[in-house]
Structure 1
Amino acid sequence: MNFSKIFILVDENTHAHCLPYFLEKLNTSIVIEIIEIESGEINKTIDTCVGVWNTLSDLDADRKSLLINIGGGVITDLGGFVACTFKRGIKYINIPTSLLSMVDASVGGKTGVDLGHLKNQIGVISNPDLVLIDTNFLDTLPRNQMRSGLAEMLKHGLITGEEYWSKFTDLSKLTLDDLDDLIYESVMIKKNVVEQDPNENGLRKTLNFGHTLGHAIESYFLSNPEKTTLLHGEAIVVGMILACYISTKLLGFPEEKTQLIKNIFVDYYGKTTISQNEYATIIDLLKYDKKNNHGNINFVLLQDIGVTKIDCIVDEDVIIDAFKYYDN
């Protein structure tokens, strides 16, 4: 396609560490403009979108412009939403630079922003024209960001089956060489699910395993000034342990597998401190989860590894027991 202009959306980190590498490989005579936003989930807001929309207007973007999003999940989610809504939609490409965005955010067409501290409340489903994954970008990623992305791959293992899950049972032995194949497999798992159920009417809901409580925990830590903000994967790991416990109580998921999963996750990620007087506030945040309908809070649970059940309604006392199990 003959684009009128190319706009590249980055944050200060990807501007410094990823953009030069990308521009070296880009061969075009089309005018390129760089738009930088501040990094971090705290900036994934409509206010940031307004700034980008205004910049696009000021730089004479039109309906034949292309937006290239180079960054993690915040950039690909927000940039995708900006592209879908600017002049009722311009073409966009996602180039994920974090492990999390490679295996999760950049695939599946979910775009959007947070509403205050409530995650992903505003957005549309719209697929980019291209997702370009280059694992060389991972060389610039801090260890905690790598671990955050790995959490989504662990989730893919638990919802897909023993064969993929078993590759993660000794996380200390994983090398960067292993990672290329595992990333490819993870992307294909998500792609296959999304293609069968693009609008999340059934099967795609399984990708939310661990996310119902995980997102509530992430939102709570984001909104509480006394807490250190959790990365997405760090919160989802807690959510998955809680969901496994609830699965054991409600669906007969083997107790020894719940304990094994908890041990693997806690050994690798450590424990997140959540005190009993915080349970109620976190549970209250569940009502904002996007999977809810008719006032019911819907969980994705496991009958076994690779055997999921969606739209499970869970009593509050079971959720509290799950927190206590995590804490002990």
Structure 2
Amino acid sequence: MSTVTIAPITESLPAFLDSYDFSAIAVIADNHTFRFCYPELKPMLPKHTLVRIKAGEEQKHIATCELIWDALTRANFDRHSLVLNLGGGVIGDMGGFCAATYKRGIAFAQLPTTLLAQVDASVGGKLGIDFRGYKNHIGVFQQPNTVLIDPSFLTTLPERELRSGFAEIIKHCLIADAGMWDEIRRRDLDEQDWPALVAHSVAIKQRVVAEDPTEKGLRKILNFGHTLGHAVETYFLTQHRKRLLHGEAIAVGMVAEAFIAFQKKKIDQELLNATEEYIFSVYGNVRLVDDDIEPILALTLQDKKNRGREVRMSLLDGPGSCAFDVLVTPSEMRRGLEFYRGLNKN
């Protein structure tokens, strides 16, 4: 398991670099982190290669990987080199994947700059890219050499990005800490203690990943809300409608999947009500129409937790508890999405 350090980057990055003798260093950044975060790193780095890519989930594909691999190749990077992934989930997933596959693997470090990446994507060694519209369809498990989290980077984010990352915090509380769930749902978004919540989520994810590094069992609980959430996110990426951020789609998934858990008598009405009411208070309603439902359900057949043609979900099993490998039928998923649509809080 990788070391995760939560500290000012001005302290953690020099200490990490001093402990190794890398032959070359590359920084992968997108347009946003190049502007807002890279200037803070640059003075601390020796001579290095900067690989700058466009921002957004739409860039998380094999063609962008080819640009990254080409930059490393042209700079003569060998197997003693280091890649620093400076960005959110897209940069961390794709940059880590490129490092893990370049010359069969070189060192890389995650420097997450978004709330989503700090509390979830950067920890645990899941790396990958999207393929033909399917989320994280091609990838590997490979732990980074280190994860360096600086909560001050969160000040560079617009509120919508903070809200997106908060969905993963909500998820961690619902599946693993009922007490913290009660605390966060009594606060508005702008009242949350981000440094404390980052540390809390990292601790939960580290504990789960240490027990199940390659998602054969327990680690699947971290996918609560993600079977339908990823399907909704993927579907909206293909539509000429407002694009959903990852956390916004996962919020839809958590409400729909909480209803499925209720229908299966895994949670009571009180927890279902509290979940949907708080999530709607933070995220509002994503408009789904009749014609959206079947294409979204079809996308769940590519979910990585499935067994054969059977969709297997991770569902709440009471406050602060989650079951995994729960068989769910298309009709149950349809009812979950219809429940979400019926709430229509807008």
Structure 1-normalised TM-score?
A: 0.96
Task: Give the unaligned 5+ runs of structure 2.
Answer: 1-19
Moved more, 210-219 or 291-300: 291-300
Partner of 2:210: 195
**C-alpha deviation, 1:163, in angstroms:** 1.1
- Distance in 1, matches of 2:123 and 2:230, equals 19
**C-alpha deviation, 1:174, in angstroms:** 4.8
- Distance in 2, matches of 1:304 and 1:162, equals 9
- Distance in 2, matches of 1:168 and 1:274, equals 27
Aligned residue runs from structure 1 range 311-322, under 5 A: 311-322=325-336
Which of 244, 250, 254 is 2:258 aligned to?
Answer: 244
8 A Cα contact 2:28 2:95, kept in partner:
yes
Partner of 1:12: 31
- Would you say 1:62 and 2:81 are equivalent positions? no
**C-alpha deviation, 1:166, in angstroms:** 1.3
Partner of 2:166: 150
Aligned residue runs from structure 1 range 151-230, under 5 A: 151-172=167-188, 174-175=190-191, 178-225=193-240, 227-230=241-244
- Would you say 1:89 and 2:108 are equivalent positions? no
Partner of 1:101: 117
Secondary structure, aligned partner of 2:149? coil
8 A Cα contact 1:110 1:123, kept in partner:
yes
8 A Cα contact 2:310 2:328, kept in partner:
no
Partner of 1:127: 143
Query: C-alpha deviations, 1:15-49, integer Å up to 9, x for none?
Result: 0100011223x2x5x42111101110000001100
8 A Cα contact 1:251 1:302, kept in partner:
no
Partner of 2:11: none
- Would you say 1:32 and 2:38 are equivalent positions? no
Partner of 2:62: 46
Secondary structure, aligned partner of 1:251? coil
**C-alpha deviation, 1:184, in angstroms:** 0.3
Percent identical residues: 40
Which of 257, 262, 285 is 1:271 aligned to?
Answer: 285
Secondary structure, aligned partner of 1:234? helix
- Distance in 1, matches of 2:130 and 2:337, equals 25
**C-alpha deviation, 1:161, in angstroms:** 2.6
Task: Give the unaligned 5+ runs of structure 1.
Answer: none
**C-alpha deviation, 1:159, in angstroms:** 0.3
8 A Cα contact 2:123 2:206, kept in partner:
yes
- Distance in 2, matches of 1:271 and 1:311, equals 28
- Distance in 1, matches of 2:321 and 2:188, equals 26
- Distance in 2, matches of 1:286 and 1:36, equals 33
Structure 2-normalised TM-score?
A: 0.91
- Distance in 2, matches of 1:68 and 1:161, equals 32
Aligned residue runs from structure 1 range 254-293, under 5 A: 254-293=268-307
8 A Cα contact 1:171 1:268, kept in partner:
no
- Distance in 2, matches of 1:289 and 1:39, equals 25
Aligned residues, how many? 323
Secondary structure, aligned partner of 1:113? strand
8 A Cα contact 1:112 1:120, kept in partner:
yes
Query: C-alpha deviations, 1:191-247, integer Å up to 9, x for none?
Result: 11001100111110000000000000000000112x211000000001000111000
8 A Cα contact 1:289 1:297, kept in partner:
yes
Secondary structure, aligned partner of 2:76? coil
**C-alpha deviation, 1:268, in angstroms:** 1.2
Secondary structure, aligned partner of 1:132? strand
